[in-house]
Structure 1
Amino acid sequence: MTIRTTHVGSLPRTQETVDMIFARERGEPYDPDAFAAQMRDACAETVRRQVEAGVDIVSDGETSKISYATYVKDRYTGFSGDSPRNAPADLKLFPSFLKRLAADGGTPKYARPMCTGEVRSKGQGELQADIANLKSAMAAHGATEGFMNAASPGVISLFLQNDHYPTRDAYLAALSDAMAAEYRTIVDAGLYLQLDCPDLALSRHMLFQDLSDAEFVKIAESHVAALNAALSGIDPSRVRVHICWGNYEGPHVCDIPMDAVFATFLKVAASQLLFETSNPRHAHEWQVWRDRAAEIPDDKVLVPGVVDTTTNFVEHPEVVAERLERFARIVGPERVIAGSDCGFGTFAGFGAVDPDIAYAKLAAMAEGARLASARV
């Protein structure tokens, strides 16, 4: 049995790609044909490097997106102005570190408009271009499986806050209705759909700092309900879901435990579950999966993060193998895929890991998966 490899989705973008994305973001004049050609070529190179590193299930690296969540403002109506910024609770506990991050440019700067009107699709032109670029690159470089990221209703509501709909639940329902077509289009293209859901963990210490864990879990349950409504009719085996506590190097002392959101996470109508297990704050939580194994449905595939995405350490393949073997012993190797904790390019032009080191980490992951496969 060979343990396959993948990652969370975003990968470092070239400076030329970043410059074009931000020129468009700022409303500066740009050549649409040149933009399209740059995104096509950059996606092809990103796929080539993934295949070279040994990644089995590749993505487009989210090449054309300003970020994994706020890209929706460019594809859907109803967004304008700016949303309030709310620093994570753990950074507030260490104000000198937060100040240093801000002074060093350690926090990404991009537009986060409010929802100020009805959310409706502007058309799927950009999505179709991303799909075409990924499928063309896969064909050119011999990748047989690919996935494409899409924002969940909950994470959109986290970063693009509501100033239009009468209630939070009404906003989630509108986002669910709007995003459903995007989700189906990705699956119908023959790709895996990956839903990014940091709202199921990260938002606990960002937007809902004043709630108890139990109160937050009720919020997370409403997010899952909205997401599952949008996934209605889509085969769960073609769906991946990613949960995280924020892809930043920081104390993370306010992160809600995996054990508290475990049952909620399992309720998403997705077969593949991607989650953090490499960084120092969550590496021990593989034990949650071991201790609650009886609750894991047989159709769930675990995709633990076996490489960290916030440091430039390149994990030794033996460390990767050790991490994978733990999960293989819990659900069997046929239900384990090697992944990363988060993306390497969550925001265009912003990432803690050097681009070449990011691919070295993916190569170490692939080698570790081969070692683990031989042992289990």
Structure 2
Amino acid sequence: MTKIAATHVGSLPRTQETVDFIFAREKDQPYDQAAFDAQMVAAVDETVRKQVEAGIDIVSDGETSKISYATYVKDRYTGFSGDSDRNAPADLKMFPSFLERLADSGGTPTYARPQCTGDVKSKGQDELNKDIANLKAAMAKHRATRGFMNAASPGVISLFLQNVHYPTREKYLEALAEAMREEYETIVGAGLDLQLDCPDLALSRHMLFNDLSDEEFLKVAESHVEAMNYALENVPAEKVRVHICWGNYEGPHCCDIDMDTVFPTLMKTKSRYVLFETSNPRHAHEWTVFRDRKAEIPDDKILVPGVVDTTTNFIEHPEVVAQRVERFAGIVGADRVIAGSDCGFGTFAGFGSVDPAIAYAKLAALAEGTELASKRV
């Protein structure tokens, strides 16, 4: 039997105590640093324990200490200040009553999104090293043998933290790539896999670049991949995971660019593992893109399809998960498939549409279904 591994995209629900500490820091309110650090140690330990208990093979720290997967960089790098206007995705603008309902119900996260107003430089890797130490300690305690840590790609930083300092978008990307290199190398140097989150390769099409044609957008996306690959110059591809998505929110998603269109760009990323959505109602059919374009998938790529949705409290039946895994095993072979989730379950601290207990139940269904698929392929 070929054992197909189970993983997920990275972020997981945080406890209220953890969220309170994060937002105290976010809002520049007084808090005890030692108590903050102790809470992160305990929270990561519990997060890893729950993943192992659910049957997840490749675990993360749940992005526990981060306010969000992209804007955390404002706390670790110079050059960011103030705030910027929110730009709702095009699909939500098409349905203003739904957008208003989301806003009124607290269904959209609120946190600072400063602009780039100065040179982007690292403040040091102290916070990152704490995250790494917490994850590795929890892995050792709960006997998890493989772990990964998320980091923002240059492109996604440029999406959420808009540039008003560098003369061009290209120069901004160059500065971000140069600044982020050390973070990427530090994660891999610690023995962890590195996951780069890249919704800029899909989400940004209908969030920031909806005035462009698909062809024009692809040129932008290509520049993002070039910047990321440059930042990964000293990192082996076999240690890199890249996640592409169209935005982890329940919404129409009728403006999402097709996977078929962005497929060649995704395949150019310097990564062994590519993670993507294939469970939600808008993208579940796109497994056929990988079937029909199999010849264009580099031989060293391992596919990590999302086999559970992260925007609904339905718990997938393990048989559904198994069928989804088997489709991809039939395309590239079981040895080149890992089962994942569409997106994260705690993309922003204190925000998520899936109940925390249900999130872990979905991970357990993911693991059980993957086990079924392993036996059958």
Q: Bin the TM-score by the shorter chain.
A: over 0.9
- Look up the match of 1:265: 266
In 1, the alpha carbon distance for the partners of 2:228 and 2:123 equals 20
Consecutive unaligned residues of structure 2, counting only runs of 5 or more, are none
SS in 2 for 1:339: coil
Consecutive aligned runs of 4 or more in structure 1 exceeding 4 Å deviation = none
**Aligned with 2:339: secondary structure?**
strand
Aligned Cα root-mean-square deviation (Å):
0.3
> Over residues 18-49 of structure 1, what are the superposed CA-to-partner deviations in whole Å (9 max), with x where a residue is unaligned?
00000111001000000000000000000000
State how far apart, in whole Å, the 2-side matches of 1:234 and 1:97 are: 43
Corresponding residue number in structure 2 for 1:145 = 146
1:135 aligns with 136
Q: Which amino acid aligns with 1:139?
A: A
Say whether 1:25 aligns with 2:22: no
Aligned to 2:167: 166
Q: CA deviation at 1:332?
A: 0.2
Structure 2 match to 1:76:
77
- Correspondence 1:323-362 to 2 at 5 A: 323-362=324-363
Structure 2 counterpart of 1:105: 106
Mapped to 1, the partners of 2:60 and 2:4 lie a distance apart of 18
Instruction: Name the % identity.
Output: 77
Q: Deviations over 1:49-89 (max 9, x none)?
A: 00000000000000000000000000000000112211000
Q: Which residue of 1 aligns with 2:229?
A: 228
Deviations 1:202-227 (A, max 9, x none): 00000001001111010000000000
Cα distance in 2 between the residues matched to 1:328 and 1:81: 47
TM-score of the superposed pair, with normalisation by structure 2: 1.00
Tell me the secondary structure at the aligned position of residue 149 of structure 1.
strand
Q: Which amino acid aligns with 2:248?
A: N
SS at match of 1:127: helix
CA–CA separation in structure 2 for the residues paired with 1:311 and 1:360: 12
CA distance in 2, matches of 1:334, 1:24: 43
Q: Which amino acid aligns with 1:260?
A: T
Number of the residue aligned with 1:217: 218
SS at 1:4's partner residue? coil
Gaps in structure 1 of 5+ consecutive residues: none
Mapped to 2, the partners of 1:84 and 1:18 lie a distance apart of: 24
SS at match of 2:305: strand
Q: Secondary structure at the match of 1:146?
A: strand
- Residue in structure 2 matched with residue 201 of structure 1 by the alignment: 202
Distance 2:305 2:63 in 1: 20
Map 1:40-51 → 2, pairs under 5 A:
40-51=41-52
Q: CA deviation at 1:234?
A: 1.0
Aligned partner of residue 288 in structure 2, secondary structure: helix
The CA distance in 1 between the partners of 2:24 and 2:48, in whole Å, is 24
Q: Letter of the aligned partner of 2:5 in structure 1?
A: R
How many angstroms apart in 2 are the aligned matches of 1:215 and 1:165?
Answer: 21
Mapped partners of 2:157, 2:275: distance in 1: 19
**Match of residue 189 from structure 1:** 190
Q: Where do residues 270-309 of structure 1 align in structure 2 (5 Å cutoff)?
A: 270-309=271-310
Distance in 2 of aligned mates of 1:233 and 1:86: 35
SS of alignment partner, residue 45 of structure 1 = helix
* Aligned position for 1:13: 14
Letter in 2 for 1:4: A
Q: One-letter code of the match for 2:171?
A: A
Structure 2 counterpart of 1:355, one-letter code:
P
1:251 lines up with 2:255 in the alignment: no
Report the 3-state secondary structure (helix = DSSP H, G, I; strand = E; otherwise coil) of the residue aligned with 2:306.
Answer: strand
1:295-319 CA-to-partner distances (Å, cap 9, x unmatched) read 0011000000000000000000000
Between the aligned partners of 1:364 and 1:20, the Cα distance in structure 2 is: 31
Aligned partner letter, 2:364:
A
**Alpha-carbon shift at residue 233 of structure 1 (Å):** 2.0
- Tell me which amino acid in the other structure corresponds to 1:285: E
Paired residues in the alignment total 376
User: Matched residues in 2 for 1:146 and 1:128: separation?
Assistant: 15
Q: Distance in 1 between matches of 2:371 and 2:282?
A: 26
CA–CA distance in structure 1, aligned partners of residues 234 and 86 of structure 2: 36
